[in-house]
Chains A and B, each alone.
Chain A
């Protein structure tokens, strides 16, 4: 069966360091992979999208890589700040039976310690 795993439920990191979150998947051939941020009591907010033919995508302090051979995406936040503390979700998009599909991982709760 299809599966998405985010490597840890929680990650603590010192302010200023680079946070690296991992998303692994099995039995998918995704068209693209997305990363979202979710704060408590709020809906997820889109951050970045990377397509299957792209290796890396950057946006300000965020960087996403996508390795379709390893079936893995890495999400990096450089120079992390306490305001980056949130839950980060990865999601895979693929076309199934003509309908749009978006499947989410459980998320990694990031805490940036001052």
Chain B
């Protein structure tokens, strides 16, 4: 299993600014995943972050908007850049162990 923490737990930001979300895992993992959960919607995978290589982005998500860092096997950051109200969502990081997906508590972002 894995214990995942995220910072911040929530934030309210102004349009046009950027926010960096941190994700810390208590075990070393090869892949870390970043999801978005918009109100009333399913979890949507943004990107997969591998240590030592560039993140792989899903259709509809681009690196300029959601840059990701993966400096080591237990930590990753997701930045939401040049925010607009449409970016208001919960952002979750996740890891996989043995076909089970473990999620962090999420970061609730509100963009005004």
Task: Verify that A and B bind, or say they do not.
Answer: yes
A45 and B41 form a contact (CB under 8 A) = no
Given A43-B92, A89-B42: 15 more A-B contacts, CB < 8 Å: A34-B100, A41-B105, A41-B108, A43-B106, A44-B92, A46-B100, A49-B99, A49-B100, A99-B56, A100-B31, A100-B48, A100-B96, A102-B33, A102-B101, A104-B44
11 A–B contacts from the bound complex (CB under 8 Å): A32-B99, A42-B105, A44-B101, A49-B99, A91-B43, A99-B48, A100-B31, A100-B48, A104-B42, A106-B40, A106-B41
Q: A99-B48, A100-B31, A100-B48 are in contact. Are A46 and B41 (CB under 8 A)?
A: no
Interface of B is mostly: strand
Q: How large is the interface on A (under 10, 10 to 19, 20 to 34, 35 or more residues)?
A: 20 to 34
9 cross-chain pairs, A with B, having the tightest CB-CB distances, nearest first: A43-B103, A104-B43, A104-B42, A106-B42, A46-B100, A44-B103, A43-B92, A43-B106, A43-B105
